[in-house]
Structure 1
């Protein structure tokens, strides 16, 4: 079905938005517009406005925004096409006809909806009858009240291979098979899929039955799955469906959260306890489509997993799926339950308040990723620690949004450096001739100290080292940046020391930095007036952290990024060289590795380029045109 932008614009023009919204939300006139308490979140003072002239609604409290079609999909839970059809009927417009194949598919789906609803009615009737006694006994042990049983549509499938076929004899068996209710195996007669099971309907966003989940009741049947879902059908797609989404969407918008649990019974236990914004996948890992469904409801869904190993694996699978899809403001949160407990167990043991406490303090995606990878395997050797860093950077490389990827890279590298290079034991300062310690801990006043506090001879020596002793621009800039921002020396010293073995000259310069830092500490922390800050060489002024007037926090952040680039570069160059050397013995493997490294190198160059653009932007704000080489310095450096 082809809906042109022009046709949709005509539909919106013919609809009075306020009249559509007023069917479910009370509006008050406010000048030329309307206002109300927002239907998408709880509030006492109206911040929700509707403009018929502009054709959209907007909430200044939660940010909900859209036109008449968006209102029908978000507030009413309709699909896009169902919303369009309903509005078109109201506006007296004819929806463009679908092609014949699409029309036949729609007719087929309509017939299957009738089949599924008839099956649901039959399952519910069975639960109330004599055959449903065992299922009713089980439900009583779960403590669900009558309202919960009716709300979720519990039913029972009798232990009979052909009971459903006989009960739904008004439908062709072909439709029962197509709806996943019967199984057709070549060489055997078809038979009912669900037998002797407690039944739950699975519904779409409009509340229509599209599939079923059945829980086994006979514990002696160890060869049968505990839960059995409908197969994929023209109505039901496991990867595009979330159990209970049609009920959870509205309370989720009001509370600002949606909770993802592992199974149907967890959803129902939470709903029975008064937490109605819970959903569950169909017994599989969350898919990209299911994540998109969650993000349509709220920007930060809370994923709740058991505290066992299986729960941790499920959390990592969700993280891996989510990273390429992250957008500004759109992420995931994680909640880990106590070991051995699911939501139902926790509520039974400690009450709803215990679950609410956990939900009020979820862990962010980045924190969860770091913790999971850090704890995934022993980290007792340099090789194992290098493996941790490689895994973290692989995750970063999967993030499509460049700004989010850069922020994740910086944060994870900072955490890795702090973990892999813990602070050394602090010893009293003693003047040394090569050797010594680097002071750390409380009491440092690095942010107040400058090169002016060093002896004139050592100050001149360090200026020469920073401006000309290194062989490339990035190293010069990092050394000069640490001189300009001495408060950052403790943060980056260990990372720089790891570079020392790669270059004797650089090792000497790092030692000079450490000497200078120790002399500053030996001064007793009492700042003295400085004759002047270090003036970096002209080429270095392209770095924001070496420019007068830069925002201090932004300068420190950029300096940290420069340090991480300096540390990362030797490993990247060595890996590229190793991959190139392997071409003769393993061309296919070497090619694949080289492609991955090329991607890393492009990301490296991109980060250098971003720092250049920051400098250019800063200069533009000062009404000082950037130098001619600002735009391409990243390429020069990477090359």
Structure 2
């Protein structure tokens, strides 16, 4: 078994600026000493998410989310602790050292970073495919792209390539060692058959590299050019760096052109995105062979305030749009807008933009239906409002959908709309009829860290977390070992770490506990790390000392009670008698 050395983690946290990490994923602005923005972990209308540059921690006043850069990446990118360390190391240009913890090889150290290695390999494969596109064997692929109206600038911008029509050419060219071959397999680029024979996943296809927001190639989509191929599009499988429900094809390319895009157009396929870009509609993205997920919506809303979903106008397209609607409702945020546009039957964005051009296509976008319009249009088709039974059915159909909405203003609007169709002017009547109270943004929050009762131990832990240098004031650690107060073990652990690392920071302490503490304990530690104590900076050492004295008094009182209780059942030995006598004197003086 291998682990990452603690010293490397502490050094990595020290090198990482949490402001840079957060601002690359969330829009934040400096206000006073901190940075503020809308929390990425819950829906909210006004910014309550803060980043403290000095302490290198974040905290949301709305939902209680908090921690270091490591905690942020783990939650935002949904990575494991080790994956997060590798991701941050990659951003810093560092290689993660792994220590072998086996007894017979405890001194072995290997430098490794799976994510960085995968990024490098996938970039190399994308470059290989792009070069192959201009070889003789790719003539049919080039002809296909030319017929689709793509010029060289668009091909280069999206780094489109061609995978050789060979079972093993790509992996034999790029994965010549066993280590690289294993990595190639981890990247999802190999297929293993029933006979355990391995071959290239992509063969004889036009290749579309899929890049994350930072430009790393994380997967591929391959389009066949063979008329007899039953699989038109083939995508990479999920890997440690690629999760199709969290990524959008073309988003990196959009952000390269528009830092803050006014709107994003969500289409179905790779060619739709590329063809639209060819015609100057360079704000289109595509889900990767999967239905729209809540993670997709969050990613879109972090990028823009306006989203347009584009579907074919046939029954299949409208069914797909309705399925997306059920995902969009709970993810809706006040101040954001979602619209739907439906193309003529038999058309897709690629064919439509080539047929009518940019101006006419964008005119369709301006005429798109809002989310609420599409919702009620779909519901009203199923009912007859002229009959009481129809109005009752509308209520039955609308209630479970509206109750999913967490955005307060949008929820109110939908209930008002429903009331109009039902002939009810008072929204409270609609609420009674629905029978389900709309979910508020804050009702999903069950963690209120700042409302915890402040005890002696919590004050000590909180101050030590925020000011690790206070550990120097704790001279008597043996007495603390006798404490039975809740949190004593955490306080002792903090002291041990601070003694060993005299210059340790709050962010580094949180990184340590992120690995070892149970979830409930870690929540309290994070809460105390961002606790707004409202003490002046110059008073902190005195307050810590006074609280520490109160802890010592408490420990002595506990010991006294224990000895007195023991004396009532059994005789104390001479040493215990002297100790009890001393305690009586000390506590009397205190």
Cα distance in 2, alignment partners of residues 289 and 352 from structure 1: 30
Cα distance in 2, alignment partners of residues 318 and 305 from structure 1: 11
CA contact 1:11–1:87 (8 Å) conserved in 2: no
Compared with structure 1, are the counterparts of its residues 373 and 110 closer, same or farther at alpha carbon in structure 2 (3 Å cutoff)?
same
CA contact 2:89–2:96 (8 Å) conserved in 1: no
Matched, 1:560 2:566: no
Paired residues for 1:522-533 under 5 Å: none
Structure 1 counterpart of 2:235, from 229, 232, 235: 229
Cα distance in 2, alignment partners of residues 561 and 100 from structure 1: 64
CA deviation string 1:121-143 (max 9, x = no partner): 22112211111011011011011
Matched, 1:201 2:209: yes
Match of 1:159 in 2: 165
CA deviation string 1:76-99 (max 9, x = no partner): xx989899779989xxxx999999
Aligned length: 392
Structure 1 counterpart of 2:312, from 306, 311, 320: 306
Compared with structure 1, are the counterparts of its residues 383 and 150 closer, same or farther at alpha carbon in structure 2 (3 Å cutoff)?
same
Unaligned runs of 5+ in 1: 25-39, 41-47, 73-77, 418-490, 493-558, 569-599, 607-639
Q: CA deviation at 1:380?
A: 9.4
What TM-score, normalized by structure 2, do the two folds share?
A: 0.57
Paired residues for 1:241-320 under 5 Å: 241-249=247-255, 251-320=257-326
Tell me how large the CA RMSD over aligned residues is: 4.6
Compared with structure 1, are the counterparts of its residues 565 and 217 closer, same or farther at alpha carbon in structure 2 (3 Å cutoff)?
closer
Match of 1:344 in 2: 350
Matched, 1:217 2:225: yes
Cα distance in 2, alignment partners of residues 389 and 105 from structure 1: 61
Cα distance in 2, alignment partners of residues 285 and 174 from structure 1: 31
Cα distance in 2, alignment partners of residues 15 and 605 from structure 1: 32
SS at match of 1:341: coil
Match of 2:437 in 1: 603
Q: CA deviation at 1:194?
A: 1.0
Paired residues for 1:352-501 under 5 Å: 352-375=358-381, 386-401=392-407, 404-415=410-421, 417=422
SS at match of 1:305: strand
CA contact 1:15–1:87 (8 Å) conserved in 2: no
CA deviation string 1:15-45 (max 9, x = no partner): 999xxx9xx9xxxxxxxxxxxxxxx9xxxxx
CA contact 1:122–1:167 (8 Å) conserved in 2: no
Range with bigger deviation, 381-390 or 140-149 = 381-390
SS at match of 1:167: helix
Cα distance in 2, alignment partners of residues 372 and 171 from structure 1: 57
Match of 2:143 in 1: 137
Match of 2:583 in 1: none
CA deviation string 1:153-199 (max 9, x = no partner): 11111222222222223243322222111111332411211111111
Match of 1:624 in 2: none
Range with bigger deviation, 338-347 or 207-216 = 338-347
CA contact 2:402–2:438 (8 Å) conserved in 1: no
CA contact 1:320–1:395 (8 Å) conserved in 2: yes
Structure 2 counterpart of 1:175, from 173, 179, 183: 183
Q: CA deviation at 1:250?
A: 5.2
Paired residues for 1:2-81 under 5 Å: 54=33, 56=35
CA contact 1:207–1:246 (8 Å) conserved in 2: yes
Match of 1:147 in 2: 153
CA deviation string 1:184-226 (max 9, x = no partner): 13324112111111111111111111111000111122xx221
CA contact 2:149–2:275 (8 Å) conserved in 1: no
CA contact 1:252–1:298 (8 Å) conserved in 2: no
CA contact 2:86–2:116 (8 Å) conserved in 1: no
Compared with structure 1, are the counterparts of its residues 314 and 137 closer, same or farther at alpha carbon in structure 2 (3 Å cutoff)?
same
CA contact 1:201–1:209 (8 Å) conserved in 2: yes
CA contact 2:261–2:303 (8 Å) conserved in 1: no
SS at match of 2:344: coil
Compared with structure 1, are the counterparts of its residues 392 and 118 closer, same or farther at alpha carbon in structure 2 (3 Å cutoff)?
same
Compared with structure 1, are the counterparts of its residues 209 and 378 closer, same or farther at alpha carbon in structure 2 (3 Å cutoff)?
farther
Q: Which has the higher contact order (CA 8 A, sep 6+)?
A: 2
More strand by share: 2
CA contact 2:130–2:160 (8 Å) conserved in 1: yes
Q: CA deviation at 1:326?
A: 2.1
SS at match of 2:316: helix
CA contact 1:393–1:409 (8 Å) conserved in 2: no
Unaligned runs of 5+ in 2: 38-45, 59-68, 70-75, 78-83, 102-108, 441-590
Compared with structure 1, are the counterparts of its residues 295 and 131 closer, same or farther at alpha carbon in structure 2 (3 Å cutoff)?
same
CA contact 2:86–2:113 (8 Å) conserved in 1: no
Cα distance in 1, alignment partners of residues 285 and 15 from structure 2: 34
Compared with structure 1, are the counterparts of its residues 171 and 97 closer, same or farther at alpha carbon in structure 2 (3 Å cutoff)?
closer
SS at match of 2:222: strand
Q: CA deviation at 1:413?
A: 3.3
Q: Which has the larger radius of gyration?
A: 1
CA contact 2:293–2:327 (8 Å) conserved in 1: yes
CA contact 1:346–1:354 (8 Å) conserved in 2: no
CA deviation string 1:257-316 (max 9, x = no partner): 111111111111111112222111002111111111101011221111121222212211
Matched, 1:127 2:133: yes
CA contact 2:95–2:113 (8 Å) conserved in 1: no
